[in-house]
Chain A
Amino acid sequence: MNTLRKIGMPGFGVLAVLAFQVSSAAPGDPAPGPAPGGPVGVGAPGRAGRSFTPEHPHSLAPYFTPATSSPKAPDADGFLQRWLLLEPINKPNSGNTVFTDSYVRNAFTSEYFPNQFTVVPHDGDKVTVAGEELAWHAVDSTLFNVKLFRFADGVNKRTYGVIFWAVTVVNSPREMKNVRLAAGSNSASMWWLNGQEAVNLFGDRRMVMDDGVSKRLTLNQGRNVLRGAVINGPGLSDFCVRFVDENGEPITDIALSLENAGN
């Protein structure tokens, strides 16, 4: 992924297009891989092993599109679909049963790159982790969930034994008290809102909407930074995140905007 360079958001769309064509697929080729929800040729979650995905073109489509400069509302169910995703960090695990509370917390609180709990990167920014250069990608998920395995595969990176970092900026039209952050992930994950730990999902988890839900939180008027980390051994990995109100109903009158997010 050395073709990407750190540039400002005006170049966002161009870079994103490049990012969506990093594969070896020829222009005009059909979208690679199975359709969303279709079969995959990888080991089942929880089983030790490695990916046996055959050689294939790599592309973020159809699971992701480039994030645009226009604010993006959550989907009708409140799921947040615009994210800055860091290419996966190598964290070998042959199985997911090691993901106890202590293990995951330690794995996520270890420092992999500078300012990992404060940075709001730009699309194309790069960090170096254990000598490996990894890039941030600003993407919109085409689904309610963010399919991290497909992201990693799309940028032609490792898909098993990985840690993903995700950041987004939530703009709220007003202060909202007593809201909750609801997350599901495969596998374990932790989530921070404005620097405060909000949700943790430990263990060998399958992604279920509203699996872990935060205590009552306040969304600030204006900018809120939501950050998450997902760890997975073998198998597919993904997450889904939304805000819900006191009654568990989705909050949809917020917007995600990564333009100037890092400023």
Chain B
Amino acid sequence: MKSCILAAAVPTLLSLWLSSPALALDGEPYIHDPSTVVQCDGKYYAFGTGGSGLVSDDGWTWHSGTRVQAGAAPDLIHMGDRYYMAYASSGGGLGGGHASSIHVKWSKTLDPSSPDYGWNDDHVVASSDGVEDCDAIDPGFLLDPTSGRLWVTYGTYFGFIRIVELDPKTGHHVEGNQPVNIAIDCEATDPLYRDGWYYLFGTHGTCCDGANSTYNIRVGRSRNILGPYLDNLGNDMLKGGGKLVVAASGRFVGPGHFGLMDLGDGVQKFSCHYEADLDKGGRSVLDIRPLLWKDGWPVAGDNFKEGTYEIQSERSGYAVELAVDFVRMGRGGRGMGGGFGGRGGGGPVTPIPAQALAEVSSNWPSGNLDIRLGDFMFRPHQKWTITAVTNAGGYPGSPYFKITIAGTDRALAATAGAEVVAVPAFTGQPEQLWRIDQLTDGTCRIMPKAAPNSTEPLALSAIGYSTPTLAKFDPKSDKARWNFKAP
């Protein structure tokens, strides 16, 4: 049953959100070949080719960070009290050669202001000699949660993508372990484990051609970390297979270099770069997007887009609404009182206009209004305009939003009692700022930036079929899952 809901929900959300422009990360998120985004001491870090670094306090606004010696296309992983970085020394055809090596080193922190900051034990874990069918660049880590074993994939279009085992205690190559070929015709690979499957993400297409780059991220999966990795048609990635995860869209061209961000509680996101953001002069930029799963395959979600929506409870199917009198419309037509459709006399058939805000809002009480859930009838008290709030911070991939009744300033707000109301006007207080994360099933989690008198994160939750509240998010329940639908 659940899978049917998901199968329907994912394309619905995707098609809706494509109708409005995506929000690009704020700040100066310029980077190429980014590593997986990793959190350290409350900040988010990413490193790209040439050692360029980006740092963010919240995952939304990014600034240039400390550079490191990281060659080409580094990757990051946090294990124990160490942050390991893998990078390529050369190769990739840079300077015309394909001889390269994958290096691994570690630091106890990614914060350059910390006395613990410093990269140690830089060593080679894999290499290519420039002649063989492999070019040792673009490393990607996986710490296998089922075995605790550490792996790194690497390679580019020059031959094979390979995987080799490392020692999770040191980051060194496991002596005697031989690299295994697992794919061809891609680069920037990154392995991932989920529900009994190993997934190999790889980037296909043309790199490094700005707005003309055809980079796109594809995936295959296997029951074995060493492959074979097959796509949705059963085609082996060793023969060029790969199911599309994300390609160009909107104003963003050439997504590549997948990196998983598992935020817990059923929220997964992925980092990537776009070869070109047309709104930023075609520069290569970082992005963070929701990662959804449909029938065992990853699907790129979209960060929440501004617009006017019905907010529908996954629990009850009812819509979030102001607790005000329902105002009846003229019945029109011929319902039960005049005979069912088609019967009855002639006369012109004329459209009935939707109920307008002005018809009803003057009777709404002026103070705070309770919020409840009700049958969605696309009435003014059920339509919510969701708008990004500037300079209010954000979270990985998105800014905070205000949620107001369309055409008004009445704003959804958290209360000191961990309930929700609509206040008469948006003031920008933290309890009126909302975080909207798309969950892996395509539904959304809605959380206030802060709730008065509460120190724990709370999420909008349908405690009853018709009653919303704020409660600790339960990833196993539909109570706190919401759908945004065009009204």
Contacts and interface: CB of A to CB of B under 8 A. Distances in A.
Interface of A: 47, 97, 100-102, 180, 182, 184, 201-203, 208, 210-216, 244, 246-248
A182 B323 contact: no
B479 interface: yes
Contact of A102 (B325, B419, B463, B471): B325
A202 B479 CA distance: 22
Contact of A213 (B323, B464, B474): B464
Contacts of B417: 215-216
Contacts of B226: none
B479 A248 contact: yes
Interface in B408-459: 417-419
A211 B328 CA distance: 22
A188 to B, nearest CB: 11
Contact of A212 (B324, B326, B466, B474): B466
Nearest to A208: B465
Contact of B323 (A101, A214, A244, A247): A101
Contacts, number: 45
B143 to A, nearest CB: 33
Nearest to A103: B325
A158 B112 CA distance: 80
Contacts of A47: 336
A47 B374 CA distance: 20
A248 B479 CA distance: 10
B467 interface: yes
Contacts of A202: 326
B464 A203 contact: no
A212 B467 contact: yes
A87 B465 CA distance: 29
B271 interface: no
A172 B64 CA distance: 60
Given A212-B465, A248-B479, 5 more contacts: A180-B463, A184-B465, A208-B465, A212-B464, A216-B418
Nearest to A210: B464
B89 interface: no
Interface size class for chain B? 20 to 34
The SS class assigned to the A binding surface is loop
Interface of B: 323-326, 328, 336, 372, 374, 417-419, 463-467, 469, 471, 474, 479
30 contacts: A97-B328, A100-B325, A100-B326, A101-B323, A101-B325, A101-B326, A102-B325, A180-B463, A201-B466, A203-B374, A210-B463, A210-B464, A210-B465, A211-B465, A211-B466, A211-B467, A212-B372, A212-B464, A212-B465, A212-B467, A213-B463, A213-B466, A213-B469, A214-B467, A215-B419, A215-B469, A216-B417, A247-B474, A248-B463, A248-B479
B213 to A, nearest CB: 49
B137 to A, nearest CB: 50
Nearest to A99: B326
A184 B467 CA distance: 11
A216 B326 CA distance: 26
- 10 nearest A-B pairs in the assembled complex, by CB-CB distance: A213-B464, A213-B467, A100-B325, A210-B464, A211-B465, A213-B463, A101-B325, A211-B466, A212-B466, A102-B325
Contacts of B325: 100-102
Contacts of B465: 184, 208, 210-212
Nearest to A46: B336
A255 B120 CA distance: 67
B463 A101 contact: no
A184 B464 CA distance: 10
A73 B366 CA distance: 43
A134 B467 CA distance: 34
A180 B474 CA distance: 18
A211 B464 contact: yes
A202 B466 CA distance: 10
A135 B419 CA distance: 39
B413 to A, nearest CB: 15
Contacts of B469: 213, 215
B471 A246 contact: yes
Nearest to B328: A97
